[in-house]
Amino acid sequence: MSTSVWSPPLSSSDWDPSSWFPSPLSSDPASPSWEDGDRTVSRLRGRCAPFCGDEGPGRDETVEDHGPACESSPDLVLRDVVTRTGTGTGTVLGSLAVPYLHGVYRSWDAATVERRGYVQIEVDAGTQDSLVQLCLTPEQARAVAAGLYGLAAKVERSGRTPGD
């Protein structure tokens, strides 16, 4: 029997991003509300990823106290990126993240989410309500990187660069 790893149908308009960060059925892994023999639920004690910037790595914090993900410090920082309107500058940050689980979850959610990590990109155009956060799978992050590399090469070959 083969095991398939689920990935979200990113092109679908009905895809629910909360599936990447499921809410626990109970925030207490020892909750008596769920039978120990119930295979439809998993009891998980939170543990941070080694790179977690949440005063981590920590253990046994609730999702409410910790947050839905362990996030690294930004490994990619681009400052003073000119906005398309040319009226200001923005910032692009890139970091690693994995979901943080603590409590009782549906077994399917827990098994799927525990294996998932992603690249988080934050783009702030420097204006009110301009922060955009994206969660990219490793494959998507590589595709974006390759696409940007190709576009940079085309602009260089054209002989025209911003500011000329």
The predicted-structure confidence for 92-114, as pLDDT tens digits, reads as follows: 999 998 888 888 887 777 777 77
Average pLDDT on 76-82 reads 85
- Beta pairing partners, 135: 120
Could you tell me which residue, 146 or 9, shows the higher pLDDT?
A: 146
Q: Tell whether the model's pLDDT for residue 12 goes beyond 90.
A: no
Q: Tell whether the model's pLDDT for residue 10 goes beyond 50.
A: no
Residue ranges in 82-121 assigned as alpha helix (H):
107-114
List, in sequence order, every beta strand (DSSP E) within 68-128: 69-71, 76-82, 89-99, 103-106, 118-124
Amino acid in position 70: C
Using alpha carbons, list the distances in angstroms from residue 155 to 83, 85, 91, 152, 164: 18, 19, 22, 5, 12
Q: What is the pTM of this model?
A: 0.66
**What's the pLDDT score for residue 34?**
65
Q: Is 146 helix (H, G, I), strand (E, B) or coil?
A: helix
**Exposed, middle or buried: residue 117 (CB in 10 Å: 0-12, 13-18, 19+)?**
middle
- CB of 127 within 8 A of CB of 109? no
d(CA 164, CA 67): 45
| CA dihedral over 80, 97, 21, 27, signed as positive or negative | negative
Kindly report the backbone phi and psi dihedral angles of residue 154, in degrees, each rounded to the nearest multiple of 5, phi listed first: -65, -45
